[in-house]
Amino acid sequence: MSKQITLSTLLSPWVDLSSSRYGDLAISHLELDSRKVTQGVTFVAVKGHAVDGRHYISSAVESGANAVIAQADEERPHAFIETIHGVPVVYINGLNHELSALAGQLYPLDKMQLIGVTGTNGKTTITQLIAQWLELVEQRAAVLGTTGNGFLDALKPAANTTGSAIEIQHTLSELESVGANYTAMEISSHGLVQGRVKTLPFKVGVFTNLSRDHLDYHGTMEEYERAKLSLFTQHHCETAVINVDDAVGQKWAAQLDNAMSVSLKPLNTERAVFATNVVYSEQGISLTFSGLYGEGSLSVPLIGEFNASNVLVAFTTILSLGFDKQSLIETAHLLTPVLGRMELFKAQGKAKVVVDYAHTPDALEKALLALRVHCKGKLWAIFGCGGDRDAGKRPMMAEIGERLADQVILTDDNPRSESPQRIVNDMLEGMSQPEKAVVEHDRFKALQHAVSQGSEDDIILLAGKGHEDYQVLATETIHYSDRESAQQLLEATL
């Protein structure tokens, strides 16, 4: 939990308040959102990407802020202190870049070991596999990421994959106070660029892969790659576990002195863990491995080639933390699939439905290739594309669906403020035979169509939303869950 420190101690790396009459003021909670300020909370006012928090200083004071730490400018320079209704406002240069360090002053970590996972796809699965496995070898392990923050049996919803620097540090401190000695964090490219994990000490940094995503934010793939690489080059990261089956990962592993390479193919690198044989079945994945930690074999109840990679990356990460190989091998069969990540739903006599979060071209391609290995009948693909996001990937995803599935149903993802018809039209542009695609904007009806038409040997991939239980439409966010749709339709008598 947060400890109470003085304003002077909190700000000592930046300004000397030891002789100020406000130096002994007790600080116990930092807040970036003025709307969440209550009596005794300290408001941190920075110039953000969309909002300038300094415009809300008076509002925070009215709500009971005991002090304000604000970003300096020409008018109010570094170390300048003003008072508003008796409340001190201390100005700090470049405060927007110092939030991680500031939060670390109030919410310090003692013994918790951090694992940071970055990449386009696989972050949620890998962080949760790491936490599950650590729990299976009698550690207390938490996660921070897309599906929530906390211990796996009690996740609290998260607004973003990577929260603000202050939220992250506060959450980690609270988790440590209730016994977490390891936390596996998903780290987004946005979070890295915006310095949200800038001063966190990562015991291990993990790279999964890089493919097209978030170009609406980064502009180019080069900038996107640079953002991801910064976890290993501009942050404290003792060991880098890198998936070298990805071309970008292969390049990085050659550049990074602390890299541990992971591959589903044999490697002749010394610092590596690699698969020597992988077998896929409806029961899961069995693989034999070799490398720095010796040889062995693992069996896990997950499906798909990329899950074989995810498991091997998680395994290598935990080995690099110093855990016993044999205890990990013996508990591997107890690992469980992650919510909404290649999650299988089935009922006697009906097509199998696999719900997956795949919402990028690369993820959709990997999901369909993975399921083709398991599919005896027709492979169906139901997916859409988000509105107000990178439109360039729409025809790419439709082309992948047409090429790798036997039947494609185009539906809505989160259309947001865009016309659903326009999004679908963009997708149809990528298909050589668009007339063969079924268009059904209602996701539930799209799955209903596939389940009613499919046979028990068929597999239906319902992609794009995974664990999410909402859909963002033009004027509202409604409750909707692919997982609930799959359960409901497979239980129904058709």
> Is the pLDDT assigned to residue 104 strictly greater than 50?
yes
Comparison of pLDDT for 325 and 162, the residue scoring more: 325
CA contacts within 13 A on the Cβ side of 80: 12
The fold of the 109-334 domain, in CATH, is UDP-N-acetylmuramoyl-L-alanine:D-glutamate ligase (3.40.1190)
The reported pLDDT for the residue numbered 1 is 43
Buried b vs exposed e over 150-169: b needs ≥16 C-beta within 10 Å?
bbbeebeebeebbbbbbbbb
Q: Beta strand pairing status for 379-383 and 459-463?
A: parallel
Q: Which helix (H) or strand (E) holds 151?
A: strand 148-151
- For 109-147, how does the pLDDT look when each residue is reduced to its tens digit (9 = 90+)? 999 999 999 998 889 999 999 999 999 999 999 999 988
Indicate the annotated binding residues: 32, 34, 119-125, 160-162, 188, 194, 196, 389, 413-416, 464, 468
List binding-site positions for meso-2,6-diaminopimelate: 389, 413-416, 464, 468
d(CA 339, CA 200): 28
Structural domain boundaries of the chain?
5-103, 109-334, 343-491
What CATH number is given for 343-491 in this structure?
3.90.190.20
Closest CA to 368 of 303, 424, 437: 303
What residue numbers does the annotated binding site for ATP cover? 119-125
> Average model confidence (pLDDT) for the chain?
94
Class of domain 5-103: alpha beta
Q: What is the pLDDT of residues 259-314, one digit of tens each?
A: 999 999 999 999 999 999 999 887 889 999 999 999 999 999 998 888 999 999 99
DSSP label of 156: B
Q: Give the pLDDT of residue 146.
A: 86
* Mean pLDDT (whole number) for 316-336: 97
| 281 C-beta neighbours (distance < 10 Å), count | 11
The helix-helix angle for 443-453 and 482-491 (nearest 10°) equals 40
CA 133: distance to chain centroid?
18
